[in-house]
Structure 1
Amino acid sequence: MNIFGIGLPEMALIMMVALLVFGPKKLPEIGRSLGKAIKGFQDASKEFEDEFKKEAARIEKTVAEPMKATLEKAEPKALQPEPETADESQVTENDSNIATDKTA
């Protein structure tokens, strides 16, 4: 019998020391409260394990499902006036100005 890495001889020694320190009247109360504490810890541990398993299963299901891709219909854009283009006369004037600036 091995509980928490403690064998039967070590457990008997601990019980003897506890009996000497606390006395026969207090020992059952201490054992009862220790048992309740261990039971509470086991319940909390089990609950945590269950929640962890549920979450892992949910994530695994999400990853395993193929993704469904759908295309959204494009919304019609509001009509906007086209940006005004420069007249060709302005373009040639700008080109000649650039050419004169480079020679200067």
Structure 2
Amino acid sequence: MTLVVLLIVVLLLFGAKRLPDLASGIGQSLKIFKREVRDLTDDDDKKDATATTPAAPVPPAAATPTAPVVPAPVPPAAPVTPPVVPTERDTSDPRA
């Protein structure tokens, strides 16, 4: 009974013309969701398989000391000059 009422409400809200588009969109979304979930579980299975397989031993690094990394010198910054502010003239004398 509640399913019928729900279907009638959906039909009234979206209309008969938009229901097929809505249903196909939901179907495509579910298909993509299922594919992504399957891919994630496949990735987890691959990680588990590689984690159980022992890796080849890595040879130790060379015992020679390396020179420390020195950062490149930074050029000095250009001096900052204050902006030139025009001085206010006395506008009472028209000859100026």
TM-score, structure 2 as length reference: 0.50
Mapped to 2, the partners of 1:11 and 1:54 lie a distance apart of 42
Q: Does 1:61 align with 2:66?
A: no
Bigger helix fraction: 1
Distance 1:11 1:54, change over 3 A: farther
Q: Does 1:23 align with 2:15?
A: yes
CA apart distance, 1:57: 1.2
Identity %, equivalent residues: 24
Distance 1:59 1:13, change over 3 A: farther
Structure with greater contact order relative to length (CA < 8 Å, sep ≥ 6): 2
Corresponding residue of 1:75? none
Distance 1:11 1:57, change over 3 A: farther
* Match of residue 49, structure 1, among 41, 44, 49: 41
Mapped to 2, the partners of 1:57 and 1:11 lie a distance apart of 46
What CA deviation, in whole Å up to 9, does each residue of 1:19-78 have, x standing for no partner?
A: 11001110010000011011101101101110111111110223xx8x87x9x9xxxxxx
TM-score, structure 1 as length reference: 0.47
Classify the secondary structure of the residue corresponding to 1:24: coil
Give the letter for the 1:50 counterpart: D
Unpaired segments ≥5 residues, structure 1: 1-8, 73-104
Unpaired segments ≥5 residues, structure 2: 61-96
